[in-house]
Amino acid sequence: MLKGIPQILSPELLKTLCEMGHSDTLIIADGNFPAESMGKGAKVIRMDGHGVPEVLEAILKVMPLDTYVEKSVNLMEVMPGDPVETPIWDVYKEIVSTYDMRGSKTVGNIERFAFYEEAKKAYLIIATSEKALYANILLQKGVVVE
C-alpha cells in the first residue's frame, strides 16, 4: 500500500498511468462500451464493480489534464433522436472542476462514431460497470509540474 493513493487504483492501473506520456489518452468506459474490440491496440484494464465517477475522481487525483489543448476531457455525444438523458455529465464536470482550474470549459463532446475512432487510438481503456448510458469519457494526459 502507498499513502495518498486512492485505493481504487490498482498496481496495474497505476503502472499504466505512469507509463503514459503527455497527450496520451485514456477512456473510462461505461458497461456497454465495446472496450475489448475498441482497445485492440491499447491496454485494457477492467474495473468491474466500479462506476465511472469514482474512477474519474481517483485518476484525476494523480494525473493532470493536458493544458495545451482546449478540451482535454471529451464525452460521447448522444445520437440524434436518442431519448437519453445524461445527468452523469454534470457529475463529471463537477469532478473535473475540482482538479482542473479550467473547470467545465475543458470538457467537450465528440460524436459517437468519432469517439470510437479516438478510442481505437487510446493508450488505455478502463472498462467499468457503469450503468448510465453515454457515460464514456476520454481524458488527455498533461504534464506533471511540481
Domain-embedded: residue 16: no
Domain-embedded: residue 101: yes
Tell me the CB-side half-sphere exposure of residue 81, using CA atoms within 13 A. 0
Domain-embedded: residue 8: no
Domain-embedded: residue 3: no
Output the pTM of the full model: 0.96
Look at 144 and 23; give whichever has higher pLDDT: 23
Determine the structural domain holding residue 109 and report its residue range. Answer: 24-140
**What pLDDT does 145 receive?**
84
Residue 1 pLDDT grade (very low, low, confident, very high; cuts 50, 70, 90): low
Enzyme catalytic residues: 22, 66, 116
Domain-embedded: residue 97: yes
Separation CA 65–CA 49 (nearest Å): 25
Mean per-residue pLDDT for 104-109? 97
Domain-embedded: residue 74: yes
Question: How many structural domains does the chain have?
Answer: 1
39 has pLDDT over 90: no
> Which CATH number characterizes residue 42's domain?
3.40.1650.10
Q: What grid cell was written down for 89?
A: 455529465
Domain-embedded: residue 135: yes
Do the beta carbons of residue 106 and residue 72 sit within 8 Å?
yes
